[in-house]
Amino acid sequence: MKFTLKRIKKIRLNLKFLLICIILIYIFLGPIFYFSNKILPRVKISGTNVGGQATLTAQKTLAREYNQKVSILPLAYQNQNFTLDLKKAVPKIEIEQAVKDAYSPGHGSDFFKNIYEATYILLFGKDITPKISFGNLNALTLQMNQINLEIKKDPKPAQIILGEKVTVVPSEEGLEVDREILISQIQNYLNLTESPPKNLPTRSSQPKFTTEKAQDFQKILENMSGKTLTLRFEENSLEINQQILLSLLDTKEGKDIISREKVAKFLEDLSLQINRPVQDAKFVFDPNTKRVREFKPAEEGKELDISQTAEMLSQTLLNPVASASAEIALPVKVTKPQTGTAETNSFGITGLLGGGLSHFAGSIENRIYNIKLAASRINGTLIAPGAVFSFNRTVGDISAASGYKQAYVIKEGRTVLDDGGGVCQVSTTLFRAALNSGLPIVKRTAHAYRVGYYEQGFPPGLDATVFAPSVDFQFKNDTGAHILVQAYIYGTSLYVDLYGAPDGRTVSITKPVVADQTPPPPELRQDDPTLPRGEVKQVDWPAWGANVTFYRTVKRDSETIISDKWFSSYKPWQAIYLVGTKE
C-alpha cells in the first residue's frame, strides 16, 4: 500500500486529535480517579487548604486550629484592658459538616456531574466557611455587659436654662460596647476566617434631645421673652409665659415642639371646667302636685381637644408674628343633644334665665338639715306667666310640725334657737337668682344684722330674710312662659337656678357700697340660773353695723326695662354670753 502525501497528513491530524483527547481525559478524569478518597485540589475551609487531604486528616487539622482559639481573648479600649473567656460560651464549630461539604464535589454517584464539579473547582476553586454556634451565649453576653459597665457613658440631653438670656447647655454623646459587632468578630475568629479582634468595638448613642433641637427651642423661647400667650374658650382662659412654655416643650423626646403629655397635664384643670358629657333634656310634670318631679336641661357635650391644642401651639410658636398676637381659641368639640329642652315640655321652657349661689360652711347639723328641707320645698315649682312667686306661700309652714329642726334665728332682737333656723339661706339664694335673671322683685327685706353665712364669697347687701306671715320674699314672672325653680346642694353650697324662655334681657349689678359702718356694742353677760355656776355660753355674736347700697339695671334690645336701687341697713350687733349661777 502506497501512502500518498495527502493520506499521511490525514493520519497525522487524527493522531494529534487522539493525543489531545487523551490529555483532556487525563486532566479531567485524572483528579476524579486520583482523588477518589481525598478532597479535590484548590478546596479550602476558612482559607485553610485542605485539597488532597483525606477527610479525617482535614478534620484533625481544623480541630487543632479551632481548639487553640477557644481560650482567653484579650481586648483593649484606650488605656483599659479586658478579657473574654470564650470557653464559658461553649462555642461549637461544625468542622465535620464543613469537611463533608469540602469532600462532596467530584465524589457523587453521577459521573458527568462529578466531571463538571471537578472541572469547576480546578478552574475557580472553592472556600467553605463552617457554621458556628454558642451553647451558652448568655455567658458571653454577661461578660460583655460587665465590660460595658466599665466604659459605658449615658448620653446627656441638652438643657435650656432661663435667666436674663436663654442659655443652651450642649448635649453629650453616650458610649457603649457594640455587642453585635463584637459577637460577629468572635464568630469570624472562631470559624477561622479572621484574625482575633484586638480592640473593643464601641458605638456612640445620641440623646433624644440634642443640642440642635435645643437651639431651635431657644429661638422660640427668645421670641416669647416678655410676652404671654392666652388660651381661651368662652369664659375660660389660661396664660402661657416664657417659663410655662419651657415646661411644655418636648425636651424629653425632641420629636415635637410641644409635648402632648405636658399640655394634657397643664390643661387638666381647664379641661375639667370645659369638658362635660352631652345631656338630653328631661321634664317630668306631676299633675297632682302641679310640680316638676324631674328635670334635666339639654346641655351640649364639650371636650377639649388636647392633641389639636398642642398642634396649634406648635404652629403659633413657629410663627413669630402669630405668637405675638397673644391669643389662641381653644379647639373644643361640641356635641348637640338629641332632645332639646323645649321639646320635653308644653310650658315654653327652653333654657336657663339665671342662677343664685350661697355658701353655708360652718353651719350646725340642724341648720344644714333645714336648708335642705326648705330647698326641696321650692324645687320643681312652676311659676305661670304674670304670676308672683311667694316664698312663704310656697314653702308653707315652718315649724317642728312640718319637719323643721331647731337652729339659730333672729327673733325679737336676739339670736335664739327656733324651728327652721337656716331657711333664710334659701330665700337669700333665691333672691340672688331672681336678681341675676332680671326679674322684677316685689318684696325683699334685709336681715336685722349682717350674717356671716351670706358674706362667704359675697359682699354684704345680697341677703333676703323671711318670717311668716309678715316678712316674705316675692318676685314676678314677667316673661311669656312658665318659670321653673331648681334648687340643689353641692357640698356646703346652695344653688338655685331659674329656667324659662330667655328673651334677650341682660343684667348689670353694681358692686355694693358699704357706708356708715359702726362697731358692735360691748359684749353683754347675763346671769342664767339654768346653767351650772361658772359655765359660760355664747348665744349671740358681734357684727358691725352698716348701710349697703347697690343698683341693678335690666335691658332688652338696648331698652331699660328695670332700674332699681337696693338699700340695706344693718344694726350693729353685740356678743351676748350667758353665765351660769345654778348651785
Q: Say yes or no to pLDDT of 270 above 60.
A: yes
Average pLDDT over residues 423-433: 96
User: Per-residue confidence at 31, pLDDT binned at 50, 70, 90?
Assistant: low
Please answer whether residues 43 and 104 qualify as being in contact, where contact means their C-beta atoms are separated by less than 8 angstroms. no
Which comes out higher in pLDDT, residue 4 or 230? 230
Closest-CA residue to 524 (of 563, 467, 572) = 572
| Helical pair 211-223 and 306-318, crossing angle rounded to 10 deg | 80
Is the pTM higher than 0.85? Answer: no
Q: Does residue 538 fall inside a structural domain?
A: yes
49-53, 310-314, 455-459 — most confident range: 455-459
The model's pLDDT over 509-566, given as tens digits with 9 standing for 90+, comes to 999 999 999 999 998 888 888 889 989 988 778 889 999 999 999 999 999 999 999 9
Q: List the beta strands (DSSP E) in 247-386.
A: 282-286, 291-296, 301-304, 327-329, 332-335, 351-359, 382-383
Average pLDDT over residues 401-429: 79
What is the tally of structural domains in the chain? 4
d(CA 50, CA 73): 27
**Alpha-helical regions (H) of 132-223:** 137-151, 179-190, 211-223
pLDDT given at position 226: 80
Residues 228 and 201 occupy one common structural domain: no
Identify the three-state secondary structure at position 576.
strand
18 and 61 in a common domain: no
Q: Which of 428, 421, 455 is nearest to 444 (CA)?
A: 428
Q: Is the pLDDT of residue 338 over 60?
A: yes
* Predicted pLDDT of residue 230: 86
Helix (H) or strand (E) holding 414: strand 414-419
Question: Of the candidates 129, 106, 128, which has an alpha carbon nearest to the alpha carbon of residue 40?
Answer: 106
**505 has pLDDT over 90:** yes
Q: Last residue of a domain, which of 335, 366, 398?
A: 335
Does residue 41 belong to any structural domain of this protein?
yes
Residue 346: pLDDT band (50, 70, 90) is confident
Instruction: Please report, as a single letter, which amino acid is at residue 538.
Output: Q
Residue type, 16: K
pLDDT reported for residue 48: 84
Q: What is the pLDDT of residue 472?
A: 96
Give the C-alpha separation, 536 to 572, whole Å: 23
**Is the domain of 155 the same as that of 255?**
no
Q: What pLDDT, on the 0 to 100 scale, is given for residue 576?
A: 81
SS3 243: helix
Q: Are 283 and 268 in contact (CB under 8 A)?
A: no
Spatial contact of 35 and 106, defined as CB atoms under 8 Å apart = yes
**Cα separations (Å) of 247 from 82, 220, 241, 259?**
44, 13, 10, 9
Residue 106 above 60 pLDDT? yes
pLDDT at residue number 302: 92
340, part of any domain: no
Q: Rounded to whole angstroms, how far apart are CA atoms 570 and 567?
A: 10
* Of residues 420 and 233, more confidently modeled: 233
| pLDDT at 508 exceeding the cut of 60 | yes
Domain that holds residue 403: 346-582
**Is pLDDT larger for residue 496 or for residue 295?**
496
Burial 225-259 (b: 16+ CB within 10 A, else e): eeeebebebeeeebebebeebbebbbbeebeebbb
Do 328 and 354 belong together in one domain?
A: no
The mean pLDDT value for 381-401 works out to 92
Q: What are phi and psi of 243, to 5 degrees?
A: -65, -45
Average pLDDT of the segment spanning 319-342: 77
Confidence of residue 254 (pLDDT cuts 50, 70, 90): low
Looking at the domain assignment, is residue 258 inside a domain?
A: yes
Distance CA 566, CA 578 (A): 36
Which pLDDT does position 27 carry in this prediction? 62
**Nine cell digits for residue 92:** 461549637
Q: How far apart are CA 360 and CA 372, in angstroms?
A: 11
Do 537 and 440 lie in one domain? The reply is yes
pLDDT of residue 21: 65
High-pLDDT (> 70) share of the chain, %:
92
The span from the CA of 10 to the CA of 30, in Å, is 29
Domain contains 147: yes
Q: Phi and psi dihedrals of 543, rounded to 5?
A: -150, 140
Cα–Cα distance measured from residue 430 to residue 467, given in angstroms and rounded to the nearest whole number = 15
**Whether residue 181 is found in the same domain as residue 56:** yes
Answer with the one of 178, 207, 236 that is the final residue of a domain. Answer: 207
Greater model confidence, 226 or 12 = 226
Mean pLDDT of the chain: 86
Mean pLDDT check: name the lowest of 30-44, 219-233, 438-452.
30-44
Burial grade of 532 (CB within 10 A; 0-12, 13-18, 19 or more): exposed
In terms of domains, do 421 and 567 share one?
yes
Q: Within a 10 A sphere around the Cβ of 456, how many other Cβ atoms?
A: 14
- pLDDT for position 116: 83
Take residue 212 and report the three cell numbers written for it.
440642635
Residue 341 included in any domain: no
Nearest alpha-carbon partner for 197 in 186, 212, 209, 181: 186
For 317, 392, 431, 453, 524, the CA distances from 472, given in Å and listed in that order, are: 59, 6, 11, 20, 31
197/224 same-domain check: no
User: Amino acid identity of 432?
Assistant: R
What's the average model confidence in pLDDT over 197-219? 89
Angle formed at CA 545 by CA 541 and CA 549, multiple of 5 degrees: 130
Determine the residue type at 7: R
Residue 64 inside a domain? The answer is yes
**CA dist 24 to 18, 27, 115, Å?**
10, 5, 12
Highest mean pLDDT among 157-161, 184-188, 296-300, 507-511: 507-511
pLDDT, mean of residues 64-80 = 88
CA 2 to chain centre: 114
**318-329 pLDDT, tens per residue?**
776 655 557 888
Which comes out higher in pLDDT, residue 89 or 458?
A: 458
pLDDT-derived band at 265 (thresholds 50, 70, 90) equals confident
- Verify that 52 and 99 share a domain, yes or no: yes
Residue 330 lies in a domain: yes
**Segment 90-116 mean pLDDT:** 86
CATH code, 237: 3.10.20.800
Query: Is 477:517 a contact under the CB 8 Å cutoff?
Result: no
Q: What is the pLDDT of residue 29?
A: 59
DSSP 573: B
Angle CA 292–296–302, to nearest 5:
170
303 φ, ψ to 5°?
-145, 125
Grid cell at residue 116: 463538571
Q: Do 330 and 448 sit in the same domain of this protein? A: no
Q: Examine the domain organization and report whether 51 and 134 are in the same domain.
A: yes
Residue partners of 313: CB distance under 8 A and separation at least 6? 229, 240, 248, 257, 258, 263, 328
Q: What pLDDT score does 399 carry?
A: 87
pLDDT of res. 293: 80
DSSP letters, 451-493, are -GGGGSSS-TT-----BTTTB--EEE--SSS-EEEEEEEETTE
Using the 3D structure, point to which of 207, 239, 267 is the last residue of a domain. 207
Same domain, 17 and 79: no
